Structure 1
Amino acid sequence: MNDLTELKLLVIFSLLAAANLMVLFLILFFKKNNTLVNKVLGLLVFIPSVVLIINPLLYLEYFSEYLVFIFLGSSTTFLFGPLLLFYIYLVQGNNYQFKRKHLIHFFPVFIVTIYGIYINLQSKEFIHENYLRIVSGEDLVTNIIYLAQIIHFAIYITWSIRKVNRMKTKKYISIADKTNYKWLRFFVTRLLYLNILILIVYVVQMSFFPNYIMYSDLLATPLVSSCFYPIMVYKSFTNKVTYDTDVFDKKELSSVENNKEQKENVEDLQTTLTLILEHLNQNKLYLKSDYTIFELSKDLQLSQRLVSDTINQVMGKNFSDLMNDFRIEESKIILLEKSKDLTIDAIAELSGFKSRATFYRVFKDKTNLTPAQYVKTFNSVS
């Protein structure tokens, strides 16, 4: 097998690995009913796919006259760190608001891109000389950029690990927080191991086998990337319990309509309702996210039908709505007293909700405000 044939095979392998990551990106970024978390994860997959496309085209001399594309490819790698930090921020349940100071995260991207445009505006002879120096590894600027990429990633991965570890310092850690913590710790540590492995391979090859550096660019990097990122995406979807909304019992939701025709003695229903409300209030059973109408009727030694009819006919709502009313009132107290110390996931769990998404939806339905808006409104009034 001659060198040209071998190079073509390596190029095909790298491009196939890039196509694999690109498909993952498209699925994550453009799927229906998408979340911002999935879109950011998609961008984290997209960045290495760009590198896997740039490297083979560089070896095939496609960029010998258009060096700007080499530097555009290099600039995208500086997006990985900020996006990783942003992904962690979102998974932890935070709401993001853009501020001008955040532009500093993209400063290296602007610098490398501007330099690439500057180089491409020079004479053809100057561009060709720079290209030869780049592919031979003798160009000072590109070597500085490569070193800056390593330092940049080291800073952001350290920052990310510290941000993940701070989740354990909360006074209360909900089940969702624990799930998120395990996933994020797994993700960032494996990401660190991956990049250390790639760095070791490069150092060894540059030190002992400098003539075989293309095997790192076109074989080792595509191989580990095409294995690592699909596994991480799969793992992220096994963590979907954090983002799923609560599923209400369809029979319970339709119970108001089904029981309209049933009429009970008003006085008996009022007495039963008093028993129900006292039992729920005194024992704070609404804080149990899995507490059902069956358990309530069993506690009160009443038929489930009587309990359901009482809530439906006297209060004009179903059991789920009644429980959510109690939970929202509880969440208001927690929001005003402990919102600075707890995550939204923790507040949702302490209030009796099964997930952050359900808590947000019900809170907005009941108050016409988000939890953050409620706290802000209350503080401005007081």
Structure 2
Amino acid sequence: MDKTTAIIGFVQSLFGILIFSTKRPGHLSFVFLTVWMAVIAIFLGASLLPFQVVEYFKPGIFPIMFLIGPLLYFYVSSLAIENFKLKPIQLLHFIPFLLVVIHRSTIQVVPIAGPPELTDNPNYLYNKIYYSFLIVSVVVYWFLGLDLILKHRKKIPLYFSNYSSRNTLNWLILVISLFLVLFIANFSMFFVQNVLELGIIRFTTLSFNLTLFTFIMIYFGMNQSAIYQTEKGQSEVHGQLAHSNSQENKYVGSALNNDQMAELNDAVLIYLNSKKPYLNPDFNLQMMVDDLNVSRHKLSQVINRSQNKNFYKLMNEYRVKEVKEKLANKKYKNLTVLGIAYESGFNSKTTFNRIFKEETGMTPTEYIKTL
């Protein structure tokens, strides 16, 4: 049964490598997923061999398990951190992997999953140490990944006009939590059996865990695209928006004084009222930056100071205003309230009802009765 599960997981991981290495448009997150799938494919493929890898390759396959935590962290970082790039200092995350490889290359290696009689070998003590550190590694990277997601979620109202499954990363919280539960359960079982030597029946669920985890990551990873749009350089902006008027271009470069802030605030309001970009449920701050040809920092400053609210609240105020106008317009009588909400840029019934009541003090149904 364990061999069958390993075969399924191995094939799945190869499929994942194909999917994420060719997915377009490309993004750094897909690179990490591709490497992740490769690590799992190597581990599961090695478990299917009729011999121990350490017989031919002294470090064995076990050290690559120390890559799972860092790859999880880098994948979360590539989604939750805007313009994330892998810097040389971040390669320090791979030190535990390298240390285990080097150490196992210098000793008489004992297979991690070797038969019980090998536990009498003095070098088996190192396997206990490796596994102890592996458990710590998984827990630490789980906390680091979760912390990144929670910090990202706090920034959503500053950049996005709607909460969605793509930008909240709710699925990733569930996945990394499942990752923690499955792998810690397996590692702890091994720890009790082989480190504490309590004599529990030898049993491992690692192949099943990796197979299940691979399936989940492929399913959700295929549907998760880049969250943040790359901010365009000024030269690119000028090239694409050469037709922009001087009222827009004057905000590029120098810091804003009070008069310029007031003017830019007026420009923002004119833009929102005339273009109505908030009707697009995926509208975000970068789209407004590109349209107005102004730096994101300045635009955020104007919205926060002049409007005294964040981007999310400003966009949804306009959406509520749009809903109210359409509810009073006979042209939209054939639409339900929810249909009008979707037409106005909202992306969920729950969000619409909550925001509408916050803005008007009434539910949509109560408001309709006042018309």
Same fold (TM over 0.5): yes
Look up the equivalent residue of 1:81 and give its one-letter code. Answer: G
Q: CA–CA distance in 1 between the matches of 2:229 and 2:313? A: 14
Q: Structure 1 204/149 Cα, relative in aligned 2: closer, same or farther at 3 Å?
A: closer
Aligned counterpart in structure 2 of residue 333 of structure 1, from 291, 295, 298: 298
Q: CA–CA distance in 2 between the matches of 1:133 and 1:229? A: 22
Q: Structure 1 26/209 Cα, relative in aligned 2: closer, same or farther at 3 Å?
A: farther
Q: CA–CA distance in 1 between the matches of 2:54 and 2:290? A: 67
Q: Structure 1 103/231 Cα, relative in aligned 2: closer, same or farther at 3 Å?
A: closer
8 Å contact from structure 1 (residues 14, 53) kept in 2? yes
Aligned residues: 260
Which segment drifts farther, 169-178 or 12-21? 169-178
Name the SS for the 1:96 alignment partner.
coil
Give the share of equivalent positions with the same residue, in percent: 19
Match of 2:325 in 1: none
Q: Does 1:84 align with 2:72?
A: yes
Q: CA deviation at 1:155?
A: 1.0
Aligned counterpart in structure 2 of residue 146 of structure 1, from 131, 151, 162: 131
Q: CA deviation at 1:35?
A: 1.9
**What value does the CA root-mean-square deviation take over the aligned residues?**
4.2
Q: Does 1:61 align with 2:37?
A: no
Q: Does 1:38 align with 2:30?
A: yes
8 Å contact from structure 1 (residues 67, 116) kept in 2? no
Q: Structure 1 37/76 Cα, relative in aligned 2: closer, same or farther at 3 Å?
A: same
8 Å contact from structure 1 (residues 167, 181) kept in 2? no
Aligned counterpart in structure 2 of residue 236 of structure 1, from 215, 221, 226: 221
Match of 1:159 in 2: 144
8 Å contact from structure 2 (residues 20, 30) kept in 1? yes
Match of 2:212 in 1: 227
Q: Structure 1 67/184 Cα, relative in aligned 2: closer, same or farther at 3 Å?
A: same
What does residue range 216-365 of structure 1 map to in structure 2 within 5 Å? 216=204, 220-240=205-225, 242=227, 282=270, 284-285=272-273, 288-291=276-279, 326-329=291-294, 331=296, 333-334=298-299
Match of 1:50 in 2: 42
Q: CA–CA distance in 1 between the matches of 2:303 and 2:58? A: 51
Q: CA–CA distance in 2 between the matches of 1:84 and 1:242? A: 17
Look up the equivalent residue of 2:221 and give its one-letter code. Answer: S
Q: CA–CA distance in 1 between the matches of 2:112 and 2:148? A: 42
Match of 2:177 in 1: 189
Name the SS for the 1:172 alignment partner.
helix
Look up the equivalent residue of 1:289 and give its one-letter code. Answer: P
Name the SS for the 1:151 alignment partner.
helix
Deviations 1:122-173 (A, max 9, x none): xxxx56xx45995436211122111111111111111111222223444835
Look up the equivalent residue of 2:298 and give its one-letter code. Answer: I
Q: CA deviation at 1:349?
A: 11
Q: CA–CA distance in 2 between the matches of 1:286 and 1:29? A: 42
8 Å contact from structure 2 (residues 77, 145) kept in 1? no
Q: CA–CA distance in 2 between the matches of 1:287 and 1:193? A: 48
Structure 1 gap segments, 5+ residues each? 1-8, 120-125, 246-277, 293-322, 340-345, 353-382
Structure 2 gap segments, 5+ residues each? 231-265, 281-287, 305-309, 317-371
Name the SS for the 1:24 alignment partner.
helix
Q: CA–CA distance in 2 between the matches of 1:160 and 1:168? A: 13
Match of 1:172 in 2: 157
Q: CA deviation at 1:14?
A: 1.9
Q: Greater share of helix residues, 1 or 2?
A: 1
Q: CA–CA distance in 2 between the matches of 1:88 and 1:286? A: 38
Q: CA deviation at 1:184?
A: 2.9
Aligned counterpart in structure 1 of residue 16 of structure 2, from 12, 24, 42: 24
Name the SS for the 1:329 alignment partner.
coil
Name the SS for the 2:293 alignment partner.
helix
Look up the equivalent residue of 1:328 and give its one-letter code. Answer: N
Aligned counterpart in structure 2 of residue 108 of structure 1, from 96, 102, 114: 96
Match of 1:258 in 2: none
Q: What's the TM-score, normalizing by structure 1?
A: 0.55
Q: CA–CA distance in 2 between the matches of 1:165 and 1:329? A: 29
Q: Does 1:95 align with 2:83?
A: yes
